[in-house]
Amino acid sequence: MADQKKKSSSAEVRSDAAAGAGNEPRVSLWERLENPPPAPRTVLTPDRIAEVAVGVADAEGIEAVTMRRLATELGVAPMAAYRYVAGKDDLLELMVDRVYGELTAPEAGAGWRATLRTLATSTRDIVLRHPWLVQLPTARAAISLTPNRLAAAEWGMAALSELDLPPDEMMVAVDTVGAYVQGRTASEVATLRLMAVQGAADGHALRTHLAPEMTYLMGTGRYPAFRTYIGTARRKDDARWQFETALDCVLDGLATRLGI
Amino acid sequence: MADQKKKSSSAEVRSDAAAGAGNEPRVSLWERLENPPPAPRTVLTPDRIAEVAVGVADAEGIEAVTMRRLATELGVAPMAAYRYVAGKDDLLELMVDRVYGELTAPEAGAGWRATLRTLATSTRDIVLRHPWLVQLPTARAAISLTPNRLAAAEWGMAALSELDLPPDEMMVAVDTVGAYVQGRTASEVATLRLMAVQGAADGHALRTHLAPEMTYLMGTGRYPAFRTYIGTARRKDDARWQFETALDCVLDGLATRLGI
DNA sequence: CCATGGATGTGTACAACGTATCCGGCGAAA
DNA sequence: TTTCGCCGGATACGTTGTACACATCCATGG
């Protein structure tokens, strides 16, 4: 079966991209990666491409990741990478899978709650290290079923399978935590980015920069509760505390509703 | 004070965009909208621009919203809209605020739980009507403090202020629900989009289309728990049930941890 | 040892995008 | 009626993703 793939690996990439609604048997991107062609003159590899792309994205943001920039960084012509990725979508998918590989496997046998909590905080760490992860410009990369991403779901499900929950509720539990983490980290990253863009060093500096908008909006008198929050809150800038407190709320909720 | 603004409304837009890390007193976008210039020959208005933009985004996706397309749709030259929005970021912010205006105000006096629940489901309805809302291409639009968006937070906080919670915990409660809704609807929309792109009519058709990837990944044997989920789950396609079940989990969690 | 063919990277090109900049012209105030 | 300031038009530039045809080099079969 290895022969089948070797025979037309470059054509494979093209057809995969062009397929769309077509119906001929496709070959998974991940399958291709596991059976690479003999690669005689290997200068470029999907791994190297992804590595460089992640590096650029980490250093200068996802918008700095252009096919041309990648080519320059790899010391190669602008179109060279297209032999290995069908398009930018494919590239983003590779990047996502690569950084999800940084997830630390939760220790087996730690109850469901500890496992889900570890997965959540570990995912947050990854997002803080690679903020572009929650700013993917295409929808496909955001939902993509990559091996390492699926592994995260698997760990969660495995931890829950010891309790005899109906499968649908198991998935709800995993998805709830996942959705919370995704949403929370996304807004956390957005704040950090806004700070960077405005040149604000911390939350206080950012609020100073946003003063015109804020004072105008507060001046309308439409937001009294919000206003008193701003005046009296003390942990406005403690993102970690906020993240973990809310996470514990979510976990409490699972415990309560799923009867654990 | 109105005079100050009138005097240089067009210059205002430019300087607002160029300001960046500058320090001269900025004027909020929203303030500008409330004090429009006399507008003698009004063909274009921020409202009309936002309306058309939302229409295009709803019908053909956010990537169809280009400044040129907008101009064509408005029967105007490509650069005309720049008199009213400082750039594409401003435009997106206007769009976001506009659709958040569709939020139905929760009835006053209906306990915190009912209020938060209404806000959540109502937000989901908006996102399903305007899927681009969770696919905003820029980070600024994702966090933007727009009046209508702030109103949603205000309603939540107001509902919680009857319980004597510390302000930081109040915000955690509101943010938890917000983050969950954001994350969940985002993945829901991504699935819908993927279905549209693949020409799949329902979840089952989509899974058929993803069969190559899926069978390969499952064939590796690395995902046993996930595999049994796929085989035994019954509500895989009931997005509404999943959303509301998880939402109730989250609300339970708030109740438990915040002691209500 | 050499010829050959498929995989690999190159070069050029195009359409579409956001937007900077300059301009002609209309409407209301003087 | 003249003048001034806002409006929308026109043109242009640099950058993006990627299609397509071509040159080149390696492993292999003779």
Same-domain status, B50 and B171: no
pTM for the predicted model, two decimal places: 0.88
Number of domains in chain A: 2
Residue B227 included in any domain = no
Looking at the structure, do residues A144 and A242 belong to the same domain, yes or no?
yes
Measured CA to C1', what is the nucleotide nearest A37? C7
How far, in Å, are A63, B59, B124, B163, B183 from residue B133 at the CA level?
A: 20, 13, 10, 32, 12
CB nearest to B143's CB, from A194, A233, A242: A194
- Which among B190, B228, B234 is the nearest to A168, CB-wise? B234
Residues of chain A short of pLDDT 50, as ranges, are 1-12, 14-24
What pLDDT is stored for residue A40 in this prediction? Answer: 52
- Choosing from A70, A100, A130, the residue where a domain stops is A100
**Residue A33: which domain range?**
26-100
pLDDT of residue A16: 40
Q: What is the pLDDT of residue A38?
A: 54
Say what the pLDDT of residue A199 is: 84
**Does some domain include residue B48?**
yes
CB of A79 lies under 7 Å from some atom of strand D: yes
CA of B77 vs C1' of C21, distance in Å? 15
Res B80: pLDDT? 96
The answer to whether residues B125 and B167 belong to one domain is yes
Backbone angles phi, psi at B173, to 5 degrees: -60, -50
Among residues A100, A126, A143, the one where a domain terminates is A100
CA distance B258 to chain A (A): 8
The pLDDT value recorded for residue A23 is 41
Residues A158 and A251 occupy one common structural domain:
yes
Examine residue A165 and state whether it is found in any structural domain, yes or no.
Answer: yes
Nearest CA in chain A to B29: A213
Is the same domain home to B59 and B129?
Answer: no
Under an 8 A CB cutoff, do B143 and A191 touch?
yes
A226 domain residue, yes or no: no
> Is residue A140 located within the same domain as residue A252?
yes
Under an 8 A CB cutoff, do A190 and B248 touch? no
Note whether residue B157 is domain-resident. yes
How far is the alpha carbon of B58 from chain A, nearest alpha carbon, in Å?
Answer: 15
Contact yes or no for B228 and A167 at CB 8 A: yes
pLDDT of residue A26: 65
In a domain? residue A219: no
Verify that A72 and A148 share a domain, yes or no: no
Which pLDDT tens digits describe chain B residue by residue (260 residues)? 333 333 333 334 443 333 333 334 567 777 777 766 555 556 789 999 999 999 999 999 999 999 999 999 999 999 999 999 999 999 999 999 999 999 999 998 899 999 999 999 999 999 999 999 999 887 777 777 899 999 999 999 999 998 999 999 999 999 999 999 999 999 999 999 888 888 899 999 999 988 888 999 999 999 999 999 999 999 999 999 999 999 999 999 999 988 87
For residue A127, the chain B residues in CB contact (below 8 A) are none
Pair (A128, A79) in one structural domain = no
Is residue A106 situated within a structural domain? no
Residue nearest to nucleotide C21 (CA to C1'): B79
Take residue B26 and report the two structure tokens written for it. 């900025």
Picking from A20, A191, A212, the nearest residue to B28 by CB comes out as: A212
**Does residue A122 share a domain with residue A36?**
no
Residues B122 and B35 in one domain: no
Q: What's the CATH number where A55 sits?
A: 1.10.10.60
Q: What SS3 class is residue A130?
A: coil
Q: Return the CATH number at B121.
A: 1.10.357.10
Q: Nearest nt to B71, CA vs C1'? A: D8
How far apart are the C-alpha atoms of A122 and A233, rounded to whole Å?
27
Q: Which of B67, B100, B133 is the last residue of a domain?
A: B100
- SS3 string, chain B, reads CHHHHHHCHHHHHHHHHHHCCCCCCCCCHHHHHHCCCCCCCCCCCHHHHHHHHHHHHHHHCHHHCCHHHHHHHHCCCCCHHHHCCCCHHHHHHHHHHHHHCCCCCCCCCCCHHHHHHHHHHHHHHHHHHCHHHHCCCCHHHHHCCCHHHHHHHHHHHHHHCCCCCCHHHHHHHHHHHHHHHHHHHHHHHHHHHHHHHHCCCCHHHHHHHCHHHHHHHHHCCCCHHHHHHHHHCCCCCCHHHHHHHHHHHHHHHHHHHCCC
Q: Among all strands, which nt has the closest C1' to A88 (CA)?
A: D17
Q: Does A121 lie in the same domain as A64? A: no
- Do both B127 and B189 map to the same domain? yes
Classify residue A7: in a domain, yes or no. no
